Amino acid sequence: MRSLNFDFRNDPGVYNIPDQYMFGPAFLVNPVAEQLYTGKNAAAGKTTRNVYLPASARWYDFYTGKLYKGGQTIAAAAPLNTLPLYVKAGSIVPMGPVMQYATENSGDKIELRIYPGANGRFEYYEDENDNYNYEKGKYATFILNYNDKEKQLTISDTRGSFPGMLKRHTFNIVLVNNEHGSNVAAGKTDKSVTYFGKALTVKL
């Protein structure tokens, strides 16, 4: 969690915003701290909150996929069951299945959401999940890079290893576009690739 001042220090629009923050490099989170009402009681309270979208990027509404230009304040829908959430263009967001505990699913199949509009980079990290062996170097990483102009994703060689690590990953790639790839449900796959730890390039 980071104040917007850290990521957007050259944007005066973020200087006096105390209640919006970045979660990781991709997500702009906008908590609702006022009592909001819907339905019959809507007249008694708010159903939206003002959200400032930093100027140096474009932003996708996570729930609808709608793309917004940065540098503006919008009235974001904020019903009782929705936290206004936006994703920076150029983000690469791996999404796995719902799990109740860390080792419930092997993670061999991942939905890889790409939010076009800028180049993107993501470092994918894995370890054993249930011990501290990562402190002894027992972990693995690889780099995902998205070239927006070429509509191309490259995946680097895997570096490192640990006992029981997966020999392959299946990435179901979703190029977000309006409602395509929005919200929490799995999106329609644009391209599926199998990664065996060796560098590969995917044209989208």
Q: What percent of the chain has pLDDT over 70?
A: 94
Q: Which 3 state secondary structure label does DSSP give 150?
A: coil
pLDDT tens profile 4-49: 999 999 999 999 999 999 999 999 999 987 776 655 655 556 688 9
pLDDT tens profile 132-145: 999 999 999 999 99
Report the distance separating Cα 45 and Cα 50, nearest Å. Answer: 14
Cβ partners under 8 Å of residue 22, min gap 6: 1, 2, 3, 4, 6, 7, 28, 29
| CATH architecture of structural domain 92-203 | Sandwich (2.60)
Domain 2-88 listed as CATH 3.40.1520.20: no
Q: What is the DSSP string of 171-184?
A: EEEEE-BTTBT-SS
- For the chain, domain boundaries: 2-88, 92-203
Please compute Rg for the chain using Cα positions: 19
